[in-house]
A = this chain, B = another copy of it.
C-alpha cells in the first residue's frame, strides 16, 4: 500500500509508492510512450479500464460498453488505494499514514483526436458536470478532506496518454498549496471582512489590462504576480466557495470561458503543453465566507530550474499585461 509521509520541517505531504517502486533503470527522462498504438481510453476498449464509476450515455447503453459520451473510471495505476483505514502513525519524529484515497480518470470524449480547439462548449459542459458529480459522490466518504481535479495536456505537462482526459485525486489530508490559499484568504477576510478573490475581480475588471476574456458570469485574467507566461485564472463573478455547490445554470458560461481561453492559448502559442487545476473548498472546514473556487491554467513554456525549486520564487519573462493583451487580441473565430 502506498504511504503518505509528512515533511517534518514544512509540513508538506507526499505519496510514496511502495509497490510499483521504480528502479533507476525505469527512470529515464525520455519516458515517452509510443503513440499511435493501442488506446485503453477509446470506445471498444472499455474492458481495458477498471469498471466505470460514472458515464454519460444518451443511448442508454450498458455500463462498460461503447455508446458513451463521457466515462469516469478508476485509474488503472492509482497513486492511492480506495480500500482501508488511514492508520495514522509516527516513526520517530516523522508522521505517516496509509495511502488511502481515490484516483479517477475522466475520459472527456470518445474521440481520440479531439482537443480543446475542436471540442464545443457542450463538450466542456459535460466534463464540468462530471467533475461536479464525482465531487458530490466522493465527498460522502468521510476519510477524504480534499479533491484535486486537474488536466495534463501534452507529454511535457505530464500526460502519458493522448486521448483527451483529466484526472481526480481524493486525499485524506488538505494539500499544502490549498492550505496556503485558504490561510491567505482567511487572513485577508479577517482584516477586511471581504473575499480576496472578489476584491481581485473588482480591481481587474476596473483596470482591464490583465483581462483575457469575460462573459456574464465568469472572468479570465492573467494574475498580477503570474509565475509563468500566459498563466491564466478563471473566476466566477459570484462568490461561490465550493465547486460542487455551483448552480447548474453557471455551467454554460463557465464552459464558454474555459473553452475560449484554451482555444486562444492553442492558437496563439501553437498548442503548447498545459495543466489546468480546479481549486475548490476542502471538505473538513467551513470556508464559505472567504474562499472562492477558481480554475488555474498553466501553459508549460518555461523550465523550472534550481532557483525556482530552491526559493519558491519565479522569474516570469512575459508581463501578464502583455500576455493578456496578446490573448485578448487573438481571434478564435
Q: Are B175 and A27 in contact (CB under 8 A)?
A: no
The answer to whether the Cβ of A311 comes within 8 Å of any Cβ in the partner chain is yes
Count the copies: 2
Whether the Cβ atoms of A150 and B8 lie closer than 8 Å is: no
- Show 24 A/B contacts (Cβ-Cβ < 8 Å), sorted by A: A8-B188, A8-B224, A13-B225, A16-B226, A16-B319, A20-B317, A24-B268, A24-B270, A27-B269, A91-B224, A94-B224, A94-B225, A150-B309, A158-B303, A167-B307, A169-B307, A171-B313, A176-B313, A178-B312, A275-B305, A277-B306, A277-B311, A298-B309, A304-B304
Main SS of chain A's interface residues?
Answer: mixed
Q: Out of B93, B276, B305, B311, name the residue touching A152 (CB < 8 Å).
A: B305
Q: Which of A23-77 contact B (CB under 8 A)?
A: 23-24, 26-29, 31
Chain B residues whose CB sits within 8 angstroms of the CB of A315 once the complex forms: 14-15, 17, 79
Is A157 part of the contact surface with B, judged by Cβ < 8 Å? yes
Task: Given A14-B225, A304-B304, answer yes or no on A9-B319 (Cβ-Cβ < 8 Å).
Answer: no
Within 8 Å CB of A283, what residues of B? Answer: none
- Docked-complex contact B305 and A5, CB < 8 angstroms: no
Is A156 at the interface (CB under 8 A from chain B)?
yes
Question: A200 near B93 (CB under 8 angstroms)?
Answer: yes
Task: List the B side residues contacting A322 at CB < 8 Å.
Answer: 21, 23
Interface centre among A21, A181, A276 (most CB of B within 10 A): A21
Which chain A residues numbered 287 to 318 have a C-beta less than 8 Å away from chain B?
296, 298, 300-307, 309-318
Confirm or deny: A185 has a beta carbon within 8 angstroms of a beta carbon on chain B: yes
> What CA separation (Å) do A91 and B175 show in the bound complex?
31
Given contacts A10-B184, A16-B226, A17-B318, 10 further A-B contacts (CB under 8 A): A7-B225, A12-B312, A14-B225, A16-B225, A18-B319, A26-B317, A27-B229, A27-B230, A158-B305, A278-B310
A305 touches B16 (CB 8 A): no
Bound complex: CA A2 to CA B75 (Å): 44
- The yes or no answer to A237 lying at the interface (CB within 8 A) is no
Q: Which of B16, B28, B196 contacts A8 (CB 8 A)?
A: B196
Within 8 A of B (CB), among A311-333: 311-320, 322, 326
The winner among A159, A181, A278, A316 for most chain B CB atoms within 10 A is: A316
